[in-house]
Amino acid sequence: MGASEAHRTAETVFRMERARLIAGLTRIVRDVGRAEDLAQDALVAALTAWPQTGIPDKPAAWLMAAAKRRAIDHLRRRRMLERKHAEIGRDMEAQGWTDREIEDLEAAMDDDIGDERLSLIFTACHPVLSTDARVALTLRLIGGLTTDEIARAFLSSEATIAQRIVRAKKSLGKAGIAYEVPRGAERDARLASVLEVVYLIFNEGYAASAGEDIIRPQLCAEALRLGRILAGLVPDEPEVHGLLALLEIQSSRLSTRVGSDGVPLTLTEQNRAQWDQLLIRRGLAALERVCELGGQDGVYALQAALAACHARARHYEDTDWRMIAALYDRLLQILPSPVVALNRAVAHSIAFGPEHGLELLTALERDETLASYAPLSAARGDFLFRSERMAEAAQAFERAAALTRNNGEKTFLLKRAAACRQE
């Protein structure tokens, strides 16, 4: 067997097992940064050994065993340093690691990996970190993305992302965050943070806030993978299934959201025959699970129900916009935010007419938080276009184009403005 084949195999297995290795190591060394370093050491060991000894029958187990040895060696060295600095009169029998302690460590590494991975997710998404730090650390530790990949996805420099991740690890260590899944009210608060991070990762992939690309499929795929992991690890939490349902259904449309020219396609233009029916079925099944758990009014469950209205319509004309408007009414009560209110106005404009939508926009335009929000001007342009007020619609689309930071969206909006001026 050639060295190149052994290297490819080692790197592939490591990518698949990386989160599992870091989760187990973090429980032992209580430091996510150190755990990541030790996992990387295990990969280096495989890259060195496998070309000479051949690929082991159970390569994942080999990596885990190598990681265990490095974790134990690390703890032994740390205990030795502590012993060297101990007071001379300390009882020497209390020093050092016993065989029993090492056995306990190895047993801990072999605990149910679901609990380990869930603990790692809860640690990476701890509210003590800023939202940006939580997103970056989650993509690095759980998603396995490189700092360069994260930087490119969020249009940031690699140095900035690297510093953000380093600071996040230090913040967790300084705060003395327990590596565990919290319970009760604390768990609910932390779970909300975890779901928010996954949701933000998906949204940035589904509708990129800036740059050349309208969508970033890699981020959507990572968020969907995280959602599936969470649903398997926390099977009785309705909002977990609500978020998963939303991600599955929204992912079904990814391949049809952008035309060959890189310009976004509206729901009226998308080829629904190309929507991924397997993802839709998975999403609807997750939504049924939400109903079984009684979580229909959860924030993510309601958004999933909205996505399901589109998924169930074979043609755009079959869409139940009155149902969508009613769902937005409920969502706004639970999540009173300007963005939800804007989406509600869009739904009402289609269900009950553009003039009704314009009335709802009047109040929103007084909200300072939406002053530079491109979708608000885009919505006004659409409502005015459907009201046949073409000159005003063109101005609104041009204002939206000036506000957006996404080049594909800018092109789309300017095309709509030009079409209005030709009418």
pLDDT tens-digit readout, 5-17: 877 888 888 877 8
What pLDDT shows up at residue 181? 73
What pLDDT shows up at residue 222? 84
> Could you tell me if residue 169 is inside a domain?
no
**What is the rounded distance in angstroms from the CA atom of residue 74 to the CA atom of residue 35?**
10
Find the mean pLDDT for residues 297-323: 96
What pLDDT shows up at residue 43? 78
Tens of pLDDT, residue by residue over 205-238, are 887 766 666 678 888 988 898 899 889 888 999 9
Helix/strand/coil for 210: strand
Residue 23 has pLDDT above 80, yes or no: no
Find the mean pLDDT for residues 417-422: 91
> Could you tell me if residue 58 is inside a domain?
yes
Contacts of 377 (CB under 8 A, 6+ apart): 396, 397, 399, 400, 403
What pLDDT shows up at residue 18? 80
> Could you tell me if residue 421 is inside a domain?
no
What pLDDT shows up at residue 403? 92
Confirm if 165 and 137 have CB atoms less than 8 A apart: yes
Residue 32 has pLDDT above 80, yes or no: no
**What is the rounded distance in angstroms from the CA atom of residue 189 to the CA atom of residue 383?**
39
> Could you tell me if residue 34 is inside a domain?
yes
Alpha helices in 30-146 (DSSP H): 32-53, 59-84, 99-109, 113-124, 131-141
Find the mean pLDDT for residues 353-360: 95
Residue 296 has pLDDT above 60, yes or no: yes
pLDDT band, very low/low/confident/very high, at 85 (cuts 50, 70, 90): very low
> Could you tell me if residue 82 is inside a domain?
yes
> Could you tell me if residue 341 is inside a domain?
no
What percentage of the chain carries pLDDT values higher than 90? 39
Pairing of strands 405-406, 210-211: parallel
Residue 134 has pLDDT above 50, yes or no: yes
Confirm if 377 and 397 have CB atoms less than 8 A apart: yes
What pLDDT shows up at residue 61? 82
In the predicted model, what is the mean pLDDT of the chain?
A: 83
Residue 197 has pLDDT above 60, yes or no: yes
Number of domains in the chain: 1
For residue 190, CA distances in Å to 24, 32, 186, 195, 289 come to 20, 18, 6, 9, 22
pLDDT band, very low/low/confident/very high, at 156 (cuts 50, 70, 90): confident
**What is the rounded distance in angstroms from the CA atom of residue 230 to the CA atom of residue 190?**
13
> Could you tell me if residue 162 is inside a domain?
no
pLDDT band, very low/low/confident/very high, at 299 (cuts 50, 70, 90): very high
- For residue 41, give the CATH number of its domain: 1.10.1740
Greater confidence (91 vs 394) lies with 394
pLDDT band, very low/low/confident/very high, at 272 (cuts 50, 70, 90): very high
What pLDDT shows up at residue 49? 81
Residue 50 has pLDDT above 90, yes or no: no
Confirm if 75 and 105 have CB atoms less than 8 A apart: yes
What pLDDT shows up at residue 84? 47
Which residue, among 72, 226, 194, 57, has the nearest Cα to 123 in the 3D structure? 194
Strands (E), 140-254: 210-211
> Could you tell me if residue 46 is inside a domain?
yes
What pLDDT shows up at residue 99? 54
Residue 96 has pLDDT above 70, yes or no: no
**What is the rounded distance in angstroms from the CA atom of residue 317 to the CA atom of residue 390?**
24
Range of the domain at 31: 3-87+97-111
Among 209-223, 315-329, 347-361, the range scoring the smallest mean pLDDT is 209-223
